[in-house]
Amino acid sequence: MKADGVSKMNRKIIGMFAAFAALVLIAAAALGGIKWYRARLRAQERAQSGIVLAFDDYSPDNWEQYFDLFDEYDVSVTFFVNAAYPTEFCVAARERGHEIGCHTISHAKLTEATEAEVYEQAIAPIEAFREAGFEFTTFAYPYGAYTEELNELLLQHYNVVRGAFKCEPHVKDYMRRGFMESMSLDNVNYESMEQYEARIMEILTVMSEAEGAVVPVYSHTIGDGAWSVSEERLVFLLEKATEMGLKFYTFQELQK
């Protein structure tokens, strides 16, 4: 009887260990599955092509009117501001999920500036913004005017510096650091809505067929002026990009 009791106890213990082992395997499989899904989601996120939309100079009243429109299309924008320190607009824009980038204090043409002026206009604001809780990581040249020497200098202080004259798609990893051009959406560059739409659709089609690519575009204000993008044209871009499964990124978002 004792031997039989021991045997039963052994079988019970073995059964308990087997059940525990099965639970461990199930948990490991579940954990592995979670890790796999997370990895897959990260890969899909990295593969999602998109647009980097920016507005240059400093037009807070105009820009702020369109915060709700950007929210409607789940669009985060980079605002390159002419400012020596953070303004109320900068705070409001950041709270809505947008990036604040540097565009010098007074829209200075750095290719014509002295070394001291370059420092004052493009480098000194970094610390002023940092003290207020803003981290400048992206810089856009006023007038799109730059030299290789300026790029070399400013890239010691910023992750990305941006030009203003070309349409240049890049893979996302390239956007983490370096110099890159950007295409203007300003009305002055397009003779008609038809020409604008054709150009935008050409770019969006290329981006939708790519994997993990982005293209930077910019304007100044939203309106009918020469150096603005009209609301109709902006909405066309937002609608079509969204329909084609493209995402809108900030420069800073791509630097992570």
Every domain of the chain and the residues it spans: 1-47, 48-254
Instruction: List the Cα angle 251/252/254 in 5-degree steps.
Output: 70
Instruction: Round to whole Å and give the CA distance between 80 and 230.
Output: 19
Task: Tell me the Cα Rg of the chain.
Answer: 26
Q: Domain 48-254 falls in which CATH fold?
A: TIM Barrel (3.20.20)
Q: What is the mean pLDDT of the chain?
A: 88
- When mean pLDDT is compared across 12-21, 110-119, 143-152, 159-168, the lowest value belongs to 12-21
Q: What is the pLDDT of residue 47?
A: 74
pLDDT band at 37 (very low <50, low <70, confident <90, very high): very low
Instruction: Round to whole Å and give the CA distance between 230 and 234.
Output: 6
Helix, strand, coil shares, percent, the chain, to 5: 55, 15, 30
CA contacts within 13 A on the Cβ side of 227: 8
Instruction: Round to whole Å and give the CA distance between 78 and 103.
Output: 11
Instruction: Work out the average pLDDT over 125-131.
Output: 97
pLDDT band at 6 (very low <50, low <70, confident <90, very high): very low
Q: Is the pLDDT of residue 164 over 90?
A: yes
- When mean pLDDT is compared across 55-59, 209-213, 216-220, the lowest value belongs to 209-213
Q: What is the pLDDT of residue 174?
A: 86
Instruction: Round to whole Å and give the CA distance between 178 and 158.
Output: 9
